[in-house]
Chain A
Amino acid sequence: AQKVTQAQTEISVVEKEDVTLDCVYETRDTTYYLFWYKQPPSGELVFLIRRNSFDEQNEISGRYSWNFQKSTSSFNFTITASQVVDSAVYFCALSDSTGGFKTIFGAGTRLFVKA
C-alpha cells in the first residue's frame, strides 16, 4: 500500500538556521516517483522537485537540497540558511503504478522561520 509519513507537524527555526524536513514513504512498486511541494501562506501549491526510484543521486538547488535513501525509504528535504520567505507548509508526495498513478501526499510539515 502507498503511504507517505511526515512525522514533523510543525518546525520553528530562526532565520539563517538550517532545517531538515523528514519524509518516509511506503510502496510495493520498484518504480515510483517522489515529490516535494511547497504551500506558502498565500495558499497555492508549488512544485519543488521530482525524483524517480532509480535515481538516488542527491540534488541541490540553491539553498534547497534533497537526500533520497532507498535503504531507509526516506526522501528528506534540507533548507540551508533559512529565510522568512521559506515559511510554508511543505508536502512530500508519492506516485506509483500500484496506486493507479495517483499522487498521494503526506500530512505536511509547517515550517515557521522567525526573523
Chain B
Amino acid sequence: DTAVSQTPKYLVTQMGNDKSIKCEQNLGHDTMYWYKQDSKKFLKIMFSYNNKELIINETVPNRFSPKSPDKAHLNLHINSLELGDSAVYFCASSPMGQGATNEKLFFGSGTQLSVL
C-alpha cells in the first residue's frame, strides 16, 4: 500500500564499508529523487532520475552512485562510508516529467544512516 517505500529504515555501519539503500514507488511517477537531511534538518537534493535517466546530479562525492533499473526504483549505493555521511536519506517521487509542471514530492519515510 505504501506509495514510496525505502529500505532499510535504519542503517548502522562502520567507516569504510559500502552500503545500499533501496527505494520503490508504486505511484506510476516519472521522476524520483534522493535527498539528504543533515543533523540540523537541512534538506539537500542529491540526485534526480526521470524515466531511468539522470537529470539532476548535485555536487555529491562520487562515492555516491544512484541506480535506476526502472522508473519505479531508484537505489543509492555508497562506497567507503565516512563519518560525515551520517544523515537521514529520503527518497521521493513526483509525477513531473521534463518540461511539465512542478508537482509536489511524495517522500519515503527516510533511512537513518549512522556511520561509526
Contacts and interface: CB of A to CB of B under 8 A. Distances in A.
Interface of A: 32-33, 35, 37, 39, 43-45, 47, 50, 52, 89, 91, 95-96, 100-105, 107-108, 110
Given A44-B109, A100-B56, A50 B42 contact: no
Of A37, A50, A101, most B-chain CB atoms within 10 Å: A101
B96 A101 contact: yes
Interface residues of B, number: 24
Contact of A103 (B40, B101, B102, B109): B102
B109 A43 contact: yes
Nearest to A100: B56
29 contacts: A33-B101, A35-B104, A37-B105, A39-B41, A43-B88, A43-B110, A44-B107, A44-B109, A45-B90, A45-B105, A45-B107, A45-B110, A47-B104, A47-B106, A50-B102, A50-B104, A91-B43, A95-B102, A96-B102, A101-B98, A102-B33, A102-B45, A102-B48, A103-B45, A104-B45, A105-B44, A107-B40, A107-B42, A110-B41
A103 B105 contact: yes
